[in-house]
A and B are shown apart, each in its own frame.
Chain A
Amino acid sequence: AQSVSQHNHHVILSEAASLELGCNYSYGGTVNLFWYVQYPGQHLQLLLKYFSGDPLVKGIKGFEAEFIKSKFSFNLRKPSVQWSDTAEYFCAVHTDKLIFGTGTRLQVFP
């Protein structure tokens, strides 16, 4: 069965620090990969997605993610975080249905 693992449950950073959130999935076939974000008090919303082509995808607010097929990974990165990036981040994989990881809570301090 497909599954998604997010290794970091809680990440605390200062503004301007670099961010990398890990995501690994288990599924042998073709997958579509997503990162969703939930800002405090708001709905879940799409941050970025990978379907095919360039494995380095760019999303909103300066986020990017790299699909590494050999490692079954889709890590999220941002070179310099801001206080407003404080949120919960969910990796998701879509095969026949969309499955989410357990989420990573990011806190950014000014």
Chain B
Amino acid sequence: GAGVSQSPSNKVTEKGKDVELRCDPISGHTALYWYRQSLGQGLEFLIYFQGNSAPDKSGLPSDRFSAERTGGSVSTLTIQRTQQEDSAVYLCASSFRLGATNEKLFFGSGTQLSVL
């Protein structure tokens, strides 16, 4: 596709429900990142993938958060038993190759998650 696509763009859920957020990176991009953007918190790193593997999951806030990537393309971020503090914009970004000297991240428009 022309850019990084995220769906849904907005998600309102009830506390305790599970949610799944989807990211379609730019075709051919092997590196994929998930970030969380909260007011006053900046961009919080969650996880990154190189291909289908996630070398660093240290940013995931708790074991309620998980992410996977299949076929080196689409990634899903799953939040189980959502809490109100999970409310934020979840951003996905992709780049051609992790650590490449010309690496430039392309960001999606994000999923605004609201937990009531």
> Chain A interface (Cβ within 8 Å of chain B)?
6, 32, 36, 43-46, 49, 51-52, 90, 92, 94, 96-103
Contacts and interface: CB of A to CB of B under 8 A. Distances in A.
Contact of A102 (B42, B108, B109): B42
A110 to B, nearest CB: 26
B104 A49 contact: yes
B95 to A, nearest CB: 9
Interface size class of B (residues with CB under 8 A): 20 to 34
A34 B48 CA distance: 18
B42 A45 contact: no
Contact of B105 (A6, A46, A51, A96): A46
Contact of A99 (B45, B103, B106): B45
A43 B101 CA distance: 22
User: Which one of B3, B56, B105 has the highest number of Cβ atoms from chain A below 10 Å of its Cβ?
Assistant: B105
B33 interface: yes
Nearest to B104: A46
B23 to A, nearest CB: 13
B105 A98 contact: yes
Interface of A is mostly: strand
B104 A98 contact: no
A97 B103 CA distance: 11
A44 B91 contact: yes
A101 B35 CA distance: 12
A32 B43 CA distance: 17
Contacts of A100: 35, 42-45
